[in-house]
Amino acid sequence: MKRILTLGGVTVGVFLAGLVLWVVWASTGRLSEDALVQTKRYDAASPQSPPDTLAVTTYNVGYLSGMTNNEPVVRSDSLLSTNLEQALALLRTADPDISAFQEIDYGAARSGYVQQLDTIARRLGYAAAAQTVNWDERYIPFPYGRPAVHFGRTVSGQAVLSRYPVQDHARRVLARPPQWIGRDAFYLDRLAQIALLDLGGHPLFVVNVHLEAFDQDTREKHAREVRAYYDRLAQTNVPVLLLGDFNSEGIGSATTPASPDSTLHTLLHDTALRAVLSDSVRAAVTPSATYPANAPARTIDHIFYPPSFFRVVNQEIECGAPAPPSDHCAVTASLRLVSAATWPSPETLPPIDTLLTK
């Protein structure tokens, strides 16, 4: 009996040790630190002069999984290909000069090993991109169930796609939510991605965020972190566009949040930023919300802009047809440059990393 118990204990110990080693292996990425932040150039030429009007899109593409995001299903190559073509059609119609993407895959198993950013850039003729990685795992055993539905090898993140050159680029990892160690080992990094673009001699900061979805306290902490980055960037007098998937709605007044979730209020209070999708605008557009894409009910994807540099001349929410290629809708705004605005020279700016660590 003692021998049986000993053998059983050894077996359990070996199993647990093997499980720990597997989790360490599976949750460890393959990419170098340099590969987590890349500035890319494509074949298309950049405009040489500042635009009169700048079209800007934010789009959580949900790795082009349509409405199956996070569901335990096998996604066929035909579904992924169809969703890619629909996303391309949506972006071709919107024709943005700058796009901020969230949940975009860079050759991940769950999306058929397609480098989605490069594919979109080349198919639509863009000149440059800033690519950041927030999920680099050898194997993700999620959604839970049979291995066929697991994400597997995952390389995913956020990106800024631009017709204009990317002059500088930085990645900042935001706070992690409290969660048990097994979940935390495979949980993505939430990022603030900061890119400096050169609009024909006019510098522009683009801050692309994807804030915490499931824990409100962490999301509000993210808002404080991003706000600190914004304040440092704004001190340069360079205009800042803040956009992305905020997983939060309800901006509120100058003094009071619109809901118990103070994320957006924290980000915008006492800043020069205004929402493209204000309450009055959303009342006049269809659809009037951004999530979920098949029946939009919540506005959690936003573009915030400084009115001293830009005036909104048009805004649209587009979810994709005949079926949404993502579970989020895209938000696009046409921003006319204010002629009286004074733009600093891009050559006089210190590196973004220096600005953010002051």
- For the beta sheet containing 191-199, the strands, ordered from the edge strand earlier in sequence to the opposite edge, are 166-173, 191-199, 202-210, 240-245, 301-305, 274-275
Strand blocks (E) in 180-265? 191-199, 202-210, 240-245
pLDDT, residue 207, reads 99
Q: Are 290 and 328 in contact (CB under 8 A)?
A: yes
pLDDT, residue 199, reads 96
Structure tokens at 114: 């397609």
CA-CA distance, 268 to 328, in Å (whole number)?
23
Which amino acid makes up residue 214?
A: F
CA-CA distance, 151 to 217, in Å (whole number)?
27
Which residues 6+ apart lie within 8 Å of 152 measured at CB?
108, 109, 110, 139, 140
In angstroms, the Cα distances linking 240 to 111, 171, 237, 305 are 32, 16, 9, 7
CA-CA distance, 138 to 154, in Å (whole number)?
7
- For the beta sheet containing 53-60, the strands, ordered from the edge strand earlier in sequence to the opposite edge, are 37-41, 128-140, 152-162, 98-105, 53-60, 330-337, 310-318
End-to-end CA gap in the chain: 66
Closest C-alpha to 209, from 250, 235, 255, 171: 171
pLDDT, residue 205, reads 98
pLDDT, residue 15, reads 67
Angle between the 77-94 and 116-124 helix axes, to the nearest 10 degrees? 50
Strand 330-337 relative to strand 98-105: parallel, antiparallel, unpaired?
Answer: unpaired
The length of the chain, given as a count of residues = 358
pLDDT string in tens for the chain (358-residue length)? 667 666 666 666 666 677 677 567 778 888 999 999 999 999 999 999 999 999 999 999 999 999 999 899 999 999 999 999 999 999 999 999 999 999 999 999 999 999 999 999 999 999 999 999 999 999 999 998 899 999 999 999 999 999 999 999 999 999 999 998 888 888 999 999 999 999 999 999 999 999 999 999 999 999 999 999 999 999 999 999 999 999 998 775 555 566 688 999 999 999 999 999 876 666 666 788 999 999 999 999 999 999 999 999 999 999 998 899 999 999 999 999 997 778 888 778 999 999 998 6
CA-CA distance, 149 to 179, in Å (whole number)?
23
Closest C-alpha to 106, from 59, 38, 149, 154: 154
